[in-house]
Structure 1
Amino acid sequence: MAFVFEELDFQHTPLGDISLRRRAEPRLAGRIVYEVKLNDDFLMSSLFTESEIQLARLGLAPLSGALDVVVGGLGLGYTAITALENPAVRSLRVIDVMQPVIDWHRQGRVPLGEALVADPRTTLMQADFFAVAASPDGSFDPAAPEAKVHAVLLDIDHSPRHWLNPGNQAFYGETGFRHLAAKIHPGGVFAVWSNDPPDADFTRLLGSVFVDPQTHVVPFPNPYTGGESSCTVYVARTPAG
């Protein structure tokens, strides 16, 4: 088997250098893996997708009826495409601060890009999710400032305590959460992914604004360790009207 490595794109951004890479994984008989890096941080790998898939499934599971959904963080598109598999989803707005990441999907450079962009329910929006979510005014839709959504699925930072950008920290507090909750319908969902084990303090923080915060540990196989790794998905709801 010939080893394959290709850098598909590399760009400078205000947050650092971002790159999209494609390589063969010798541990998996040459399976092709896509990876996104920001400086020295790995943002996403197509080798580990169960957490993104379960964020969408667990976040939308409590809801019914026609759903308007926001995903914070595009990555390689696994959370977004899983949300679209739910037939109740009426609209999906994916917000990412990195224009190159959005361009990769529109240009079909990543495996899920064409399917995601082709779905008429999808809107890709270049913006700082945290600035929009924590704003005391407006909504996630610039054209409809009074509009609310039924679910917000967040997968940007490594965890609520390990941020890609130090400026994101301000969102993870009671004030930021209250502004976010005001943009979600009563009884709607806020779900957030974390690479860390369950954090009781963060669960209590969610409970100060949202109701019934649930913690889900998501296991997945790790070919690098030969064992199993896990992440955490938090799901909480806005108070019913």
Structure 2
Amino acid sequence: MGARFEEIDWQETPIGVISLRRRRDPLLGVDVYEVKLDDEYLMSSLFTVAEEELARLGLAELPGTGFDVVVGGLGLGCTARAALDDPRVRSSIVVEGLPQVVDWHRRGLLPLSGSLTGDPRNRFVRGDFFAMAASAPGFDPAAPGRRFHAILLDIDHSPRHVLDSGHADFYTPAGLRRLAAHLHPGGAFALWSDDPPDADFTATLAEVFETAQAHVVPFENPYGGGRSANTIYVSRLPAQ
């Protein structure tokens, strides 16, 4: 066992100070990795169930194999790793806006880093997911206009609680239509949210996609002495 607490990295970014920390939890007997933006916690390795379910639920209903996937937001790497654990996934592009986060993984600072950088199906792309979603070239700088079978997004806290006000337009029918243009027919869009299911946002998804569902994903919370929950929205385009 190493030190009880370590601030692994701390850097200024355009949206605030981002830091990566590792601490030993004496109650649980595990090392906990945490990412903070200024004084706000963005993610913790203790709570990754919903991030993994984002990939599993987003891919679950797709028929066939040979899927090309976009993951919006790298973070600790849980969604990207869960997507790659599906043997039907042929390729994965992980779009991350902060070079510091990509650098953490390239330097092997996180538990999943090696499995992501060492997987030949996986590629990191530095860019603004929301700007790329709204653009004709899309998410793959090496193949402008390329379409994908699934897009999995975990960046904002929720459609109503965004990290940057510039993201808000993405969650409108017009923004979602621009995103849908980057999917193959029958393709899936899945979104992580920290808020309870939002009926209005589910209805917004239904304006653009053939199907739209909100899944509640519960998980154990050792600090609260009970259970917490996140929401995963899953929507699909018509096959034709």
Query: One fold, TM greater than 0.5?
Result: yes
TM-score by length of 2: 0.97
Aligned length: 239
Aligned residues: CA RMSD: 1.2
* Distance (Å, rounded) in 2 between the aligned partners of 1:93 and 1:41: 27
SS in 2 for 1:75: coil
Secondary structure of the structure 2 residue equivalent to 1:59: helix
Contact 1:27 1:223 in 2 (8 A): no
- The equivalent of 1:222 in structure 2 is 221
Matches for 1:85-124 after TM superposition, within 5 Å: 85-124=85-124
The Cα of 1:27 is off from its aligned counterpart by: 2.6
The residue identity in structure 1 corresponding to 2:222 is P
Please name the residue that 2:40 is paired with: 41
Instruction: Give ranges in structure 2 of 5+ residues lacking alignment.
Output: none
How far, CA to CA, are the matches of 2:197 and 2:61 in structure 1? 20
Aligned counterpart, 1:173: 172
> 1:179-198 residue pairs with structure 2 within 5 A?
179-198=178-197
Deviation at 1:139, TM superposition (A): 2.2
Matched residue type, 1:239: P
Task: Determine if contact 1:186/1:239 at 8 Å carries over to the other structure.
Answer: yes
Distance, in Å, in 2 between the alignment partners of 1:232 and 1:107 is 31
List structure 1 segments (4+ residues) > 2 angstroms apart after TM superposition.
none
Q: Cα distance 1:2–1:191, how it changes in 2: closer, same or farther (>3 A)?
A: closer
Unaligned runs of 5+ in 1: none
Shift, 1:2, TM fit: 9.1
- TM-score of the aligned structures, taking structure 1 as reference length: 0.97
Partner deviation per Cα, 1:29-77 (whole Å, 9 max, x = no partner): x310000011122111000000111001000001132100000000100
Match of 1:139 in 2: 138
Q: Is the 8 A contact 1:96 1:125 kept in 2?
A: yes
Structure 1 equivalent of residue 81 of structure 2 = 81
Distance (Å, rounded) in 1 between the aligned partners of 2:27 and 2:201: 36
2: CA distance, partners of 1:3 / 1:144: 45
